[in-house]
Amino acid sequence: MSNVSRRGVQTLALAAGGLGLVAASLSVMYIAGLFGLSTAFASQIVAAVSVGGWVLAVVMAAISGGIAGVVVATARWAITQWGKAAAVA
What's the pLDDT score for residue 32?
66
Query: pLDDT tens across 18-72, in order?
Result: 888 888 777 777 766 666 666 677 777 777 777 777 777 777 777 777 777 777 7
C-alpha–C-alpha distance, residues 18 and 48, integer Å: 25
| Residue, of 85 and 23, whose pLDDT is higher | 23
What's the pLDDT score for residue 87?
62
What's the pLDDT score for residue 89?
59
What's the pLDDT score for residue 24?
79
C-alpha–C-alpha distance, residues 1 and 32, integer Å: 44
Q: Rg of the chain's alpha carbons, rounded to an integer?
A: 16
Sorted by where each begins, the domain ranges of the chain are 3-88
pLDDT of residue 1 exceeding 70:
no
C-alpha–C-alpha distance, residues 1 and 10, integer Å: 12
pLDDT of residue 10 exceeding 80:
yes
| Residue, of 39 and 15, whose pLDDT is higher | 15
